[in-house]
Chains A and B, each alone.
Chain A
């Protein structure tokens, strides 16, 4: 149920929230601001200029990195959506011990620090003699993103009533039809939310990508990470601002999309996969 208006606005909570937003956005505003800086400095603003943007758009290496990142993130999101949803559905319905063991193993990537997953992926690929490439990056990213989808979709499944599906089958649907026509549409917010989440995580991931990149154009965060030890150039600020814009547009689109399907679905469901009462 929607919140009934409480008696008075809690001043402290609101103050903290305002401060939080300021803190959250301060570096982003700084990055955006300094991406228009005419000088190379990151602390003194000398004048307005779009040179870093023209540098970026004429720098084919950076553009190709951006394209590579987008490709990897898209394929990884789709791949982990498919596999993660299959896993969530299977785990929710089958409660035998082997299934629960599988469930536990699937959660392990969430527990594993990224440095470990990166190293493990590298060792596996080189140990098997695979050539590193964007494909190996994508395979690794899918493997470590499945858990996010599974958790979110299972959460949504858990709060869905099974009666509708039962009813569909009583009416003569095969299990596959019930899945396709009833369960999956009902899962839509969770699918969209987890897909977006995985896209964001993979798009920005540098640890796993760093270890598994080959000679293909490297994903953008790897490029950024390579320079971070020695200091990044202001051109990277332009990159960051653009990445933020792209993501911002994505989120806005994702928030508006459910309105086309079901007006009552809360956009918050996208991320938490939960149901609002």
Chain B
């Protein structure tokens, strides 16, 4: 069946495939596909269905055919909330890039024998409980916590109110997700031909210019992957805002969580979820279109 077809994703001609071979791969696809349909697709479907429902007088959510949940979302407050979350997520991505590149660069190109140990040292804390680490920040950064005590004792400052600010929230988001940027960028740097940098330095006479014109384009694949892997969880996060946030740092994740908790309005929460997913899908498609063609050349 696939005899003589050009393999589109590779741009190489492939020899005739035996149908036996194709059948095996086909079988391999069916089981996980069935699983995904059974569990993932159907659960998403239930969310969509419930978004048209309403809550009974006794508090139970039921399916229905109303669109009033979606109508309720046209409140400017929700739009502002979405934009704010977008802003925090974007800030998180930018800061992650700023942190990830020097770190990945230093380890990939100057780590020598200790490369793997260093990468392991970055990944290991990521295995420790996210919640506990975030809560530890709350204790550390509190007005009478260790950081401020240190600042006061060393005379550097009278104490800074770190917590309950947008910066604390973004800082928490970066802390939680920067690993997802470091690893892909590191992988790209590892695969890159280092002599490109040498050549770039000769051509451009400056580390910063070389970095921008040579290194970043060469590590594009890792960069784009990392940006996605950081942006998405940051956007839907609610822990950072809950623990470290202030009165004006409410994010979409907090909003949706509230509908399923105190708000007791599962249909509204489902509608918010559907709206957010729709917005994200649009963003994703735009992003992928912008980055895919170039990435294809790269890989």
Contact = CB atoms under 8 A, between A and B. Distances in A.
B56 interface: no
Contacts of B193: 1
B32 A84 contact: yes
B243 A228 contact: yes
Given A27-B137, A268-B116, A120 B46 contact: yes
B126 A200 contact: yes
A116 B276 contact: yes
B40 A268 contact: no
Interface in B120-150: 120-137, 139-140, 142, 144-146, 149
B127 A124 contact: no
A271 B119 contact: yes
Nearest to B274: A116
Nearest to A93: B25
Interface residues of B, number: 103
A43 B129 contact: no
Given A13-B106, A124-B42, A175 B128 contact: no
Interface size class of A (residues with CB under 8 A): 35 or more
Contacts of A117: 43
Nearest to A41: B139
Given A43-B145, A111-B232, A166-B15, A123 B124 contact: no
Nearest to A3: B109
Nearest to A170: B15
Given A106-B36, A119-B270, A272 B29 contact: no
A274 B187 contact: yes
A17 B132 contact: no
Contacts of A63: none
B198 interface: yes
A217 interface: no
Given A111-B232, A113-B236, A240-B132, A143 B120 contact: no
B47 A250 contact: no
A119 B8 CA distance: 38
A13 B232 contact: no
Interface stretch (B73-81, B159-167, B252-260): B252-260
A274 B190 contact: yes
Interface string B76-114: 000000000000000000000001001101111110100
Interface in A77-124: 83-84, 86-87, 89-91, 93-95, 99, 102, 105-106, 108-117, 119-121, 123-124
Contacts of A25: 125
B72 to A, nearest CB: 18
A195 B76 CA distance: 44
Contact of B142 (A43, A224, A232, A247): A43
B120 A124 contact: no
B29 A6 contact: no
A93 B22 contact: yes
Interface in B148-202: 149, 175, 183-184, 186-187, 190-191, 193-195, 197-198
Nearest to B110: A9
A84 B40 CA distance: 14
Nearest to B190: A276
A28 interface: yes
A102 B187 CA distance: 27
B289 interface: no
Interface in A124-152: 124, 127, 139-140, 142-144, 146
Contact of A251 (B25, B127, B273): B127
Contact of B20 (A109, A174, A225, A247): A174
B245 interface: no
A6 B128 contact: no
A274 B119 CA distance: 14
Interface in A1-42: 1, 3-4, 6, 9-10, 12-14, 16-17, 20-21, 23-28, 30-31, 34, 42
Interface of A: 1, 3-4, 6, 9-10, 12-14, 16-17, 20-21, 23-28, 30-31, 34, 42-43, 83-84, 86-87, 89-91, 93-95, 99, 102, 105-106, 108-117, 119-121, 123-124, 127, 139-140, 142-144, 146, 158, 162, 166, 169, 174-176, 179, 200, 203-204, 206, 220-221, 224-225, 228-229, 232, 236-237, 239-240, 243-244, 247-248, 250-252, 255, 266-268, 271-272, 274-277
